[in-house]
Amino acid sequence: MRVEIVEVGPRDGLQNEAVTVPTGVKVEFVRRLAAAGARRIEVTSFVRPDRVPQLADAEEVLAGVADLDVAVSALVFNERGLRRARAAAVAEVNLVLVATDSFSMRNQGAPVAAAVASSRRLAGQAHDAGLRVTLTVGAAWGCPFEGEVDPAQVLRIVEGVPDVDEVCVADTIGAGTPGRITSLLGAVRGVTDRPLRCHFHNTRNSGYANAYAAITAGAVALDASSGGIGGCPFAPRATGNIATEDLAWALGRDGYETGLSLPGLLDAAALVERTLGRQVPAQLGRTDPFPPGAGASSLGGTR
């Protein structure tokens, strides 16, 4: 069985880092990920540079990877962002909403209902422009400001932006657990027939268990970040995404096809680790690969 891993390290991974990563390193990061077999990469976000300075070079990074045979996506929050995405010729725009009003005011500057209406318009405009459109519902399993999230809030957003090519349900702060993943995805399945993707953070060590629960519940794609880096500038103490290499290792051992090469992923993570100057949360890069040799060419090379 195939599971598609969407690489979000360049965007969700880097956006919250204090170290300003040079544009050239970002380009090299994306190129290594592509070389490792990644075919969908969330490269950047069209946000205001003063709000997320780390991603101010969105256009430059995209230009640097334009020759790759990869489906490149970027986050878009408004019409200005959509214009930038079209000009940069990305293949896919990701419209991100969050499940609660408190978080939505901080993340989008508008309450949920207004953000839904805006995203519905954006989805139509993006489709008219020939772009693939995905919808992410963030804070679906818990909000850093309001605590527990009623599943009905998630369903209202999914129903409110129906004209999308894929729905991603995101556990922005790592509050989800496998039983809750199963039940919410079942409910989401009841209100949309779009392919389901999931996005997990490993804040409380439940991220990988959640990923398996999501696959079992019918998700066909999972976000992950190289090295397990990541966070959210507007969600206090959100920690890293689940790590691409650790997820790909586990899925591979269980017979799932991801199309990813472990040595290649370790090469990409080594670049991130060196650039950030700290140990990344992923475990595979700092232990023996298993079975011996699975990641050897990388471990013996760049690390």
Q: Does 255 bind a second copy (CB under 8 A)?
A: yes
Q: Does 148 bind a second copy (CB under 8 A)?
A: yes
CB of 264 to a second copy, least distance (A): 17
Among 79, 150, 159, 254, binds a second copy (CB under 8 A): 254
Give the count of beta carbons closer than 10 Å to the beta carbon of residue 214.
27
Beta strand pairing call for 196-200 and 221-224:
parallel
Identify which range of 25-33, 57-65, 125-133, 199-207 contacts a second copy by CB under 8 A.
199-207
Cα–Cα distance for residue pair 218/296, rounded to 1 Å: 33
Cα–Cα distance for residue pair 119/113, rounded to 1 Å: 10
Among 236, 274, 279, 301, binds a second copy (CB under 8 A): 236
Identify which range of 66-74, 112-120, 130-138, 276-284 contacts a second copy by CB under 8 A.
276-284
Among 102, 162, 212, 303, binds a second copy (CB under 8 A): 212
Q: Does 203 bind a second copy (CB under 8 A)?
A: yes
Task: Give the contacts of 118 (CB within 8 A, at least 6 positions apart).
Answer: 78, 108, 110
Cα–Cα distance for residue pair 303/300, rounded to 1 Å: 7
Among 44, 45, 108, 206, binds a second copy (CB under 8 A): 206
Q: Does 13 bind a second copy (CB under 8 A)?
A: no
Task: Give the contacts of 186 (CB within 8 A, at least 6 positions apart).
Answer: 217
Q: Does 213 bind a second copy (CB under 8 A)?
A: yes
What the block records as the tokens of 15 is: 């956006």
Cα–Cα distance for residue pair 104/87, rounded to 1 Å: 27
CB of 293 to a second copy, least distance (A): 9
Cα–Cα distance for residue pair 269/134, rounded to 1 Å: 26
| Cα R_g (the chain), whole angstroms | 18
Residue whose pair of structure tokens reads 């959640």 in the numeric block: 210
**Coil/strand/helix, residue 142:** coil
Q: Does 211 bind a second copy (CB under 8 A)?
A: yes
Question: Which residues from 176-195 bind a second copy, rule CB under 8 A?
Answer: 177-180
The verdict on whether 232 is a catalytic residue reads yes
| Cβ distance to a second copy smaller for residue 148 or 159 | 148
Whether the Cβ atoms of residue 108 and residue 45 lie closer than 8 Å to each other = no
Cα–Cα distance for residue pair 251/242, rounded to 1 Å: 13
Q: Does 230 bind a second copy (CB under 8 A)?
A: no
Q: Does 51 bind a second copy (CB under 8 A)?
A: no
Q: How many residues does the chain have?
A: 303
**Coil/strand/helix, residue 237:** coil
| Cβ distance to a second copy smaller for residue 20 or 287 | 287
CB of 223 to a second copy, least distance (A): 15
Q: Is 187 exposed, middle or buried (0-12, 13-18, 19+ CB in 10 A)?
A: middle
Among 51, 253, 274, 278, binds a second copy (CB under 8 A): 253
| Catalytic pick among 143, 168, 198, 232 | 232
| Cβ distance to a second copy smaller for residue 21 or 173 | 173
In the complex, the residues that contact a second copy under the rule CB under 8 A are 142, 144, 147-148, 173-175, 177-180, 202-206, 208-209, 211-213, 228, 236-237, 239, 242-243, 246, 249-251, 253-255, 282-284, 287-288, 290-292
Q: Which residues are catalytic?
A: 232
